[in-house]
Chains A and B, each alone.
Chain A
């Protein structure tokens, strides 16, 4: 057996020295090498298939979420309190950005990058495929995380829209000898004002009223 060889061509940071392995190779070494070779040759195809499956599954999840959001509950953000409406808007914006990013990353993982490679850079197709497989795997992982983040934000936005407080509407507060009523005006009929309050419709005789005050919100 010949002695160790001088250093071979290397990257900028490392050199590699090749020397014969210890002892004689065995049939187990051949089987290991064959299995690794087989896995390398199929790696990119397997990554593409997995990314396609994740893309389809997460797309179905998002469609289901949108369907879930349509079932019931408030659907108009303008009915929410302004602060809540702003937060819901922010959540929807982030969900849109994450959803678009996730979709692009999953499509990139499933179908590759639309780019031209310099032919000089193709020194080994199998190594290039492996590097592309690693990049696609990273894109798939980030795509899954982004899409799940989008789904989470959508759920938060729908929940906030459903359960957030109402927008305050200007109201009238009428004080009569019978007491004080506060609510939005429904109608005025022969000096009797009908107010919509939290307890229902309340009538107030304006001829007996001592004060009528416009308030931003009822106490």
Chain B
């Protein structure tokens, strides 16, 4: 279930339970703390601490992905633009109580705008 509340910071040593939450502060924290690496053109790695559970995560942001159909062709064209908004979520492998089997992370999500500035 999705909900909004303030960032639940760990402090008592107990792992945070899985909860699908967002907060405007998440995006601001990620924008400040994440670094960007481009190992190959079209492939970015955003790395930094999760704004909720603080596990260091890396999130690949890619221009295209293998599929046996061309469903994602529109996204490939969208990535040509200088600015685009990327939905993000925590991708940590830490244990979070109540997390469904087929997902990763602590449940925190946010969006970031990536602005490319060509030299």
Interface set of A (CB-CB < 8 Å, partner B): 1-2, 4-5, 7-11, 13-27, 29-30, 32-34, 36-40, 43, 46-47, 50, 123-124, 126-128, 130-131, 133-134, 137
Contacts and interface: CB of A to CB of B under 8 A. Distances in A.
A29 B109 contact: yes
A13 B87 contact: no
B65 A17 contact: no
Contacts of A30: 2, 20, 22, 87, 89, 109
Main secondary structure of the interface of B (DSSP, over half): strand
A20 B26 CA distance: 9
A19 B115 contact: yes
Given A5-B32, A9-B35, A22 B44 contact: no
B7 interface: no
B76 interface: no
Interface in B91-119: 91, 102-104, 109-119
A13 B118 contact: yes
B30 A123 contact: no
24 contacts: A2-B28, A9-B35, A10-B38, A11-B38, A15-B119, A17-B114, A18-B114, A19-B31, A20-B31, A20-B112, A21-B112, A25-B22, A29-B109, A32-B87, A34-B103, A37-B89, A50-B66, A127-B45, A127-B58, A127-B60, A127-B62, A131-B43, A134-B40, A134-B64
Interface residues of B, number: 53
Given A4-B31, A13-B118, 8 more contacts: A16-B38, A22-B113, A34-B89, A39-B65, A40-B60, A126-B60, A128-B39, A131-B40
Contacts of B32: 2, 5
Contact of B22 (A10, A24, A40): A24
B55 interface: no
Contact of A127 (B39, B85, B103, B109): B39
Nearest to A16: B36
B116 A33 contact: no
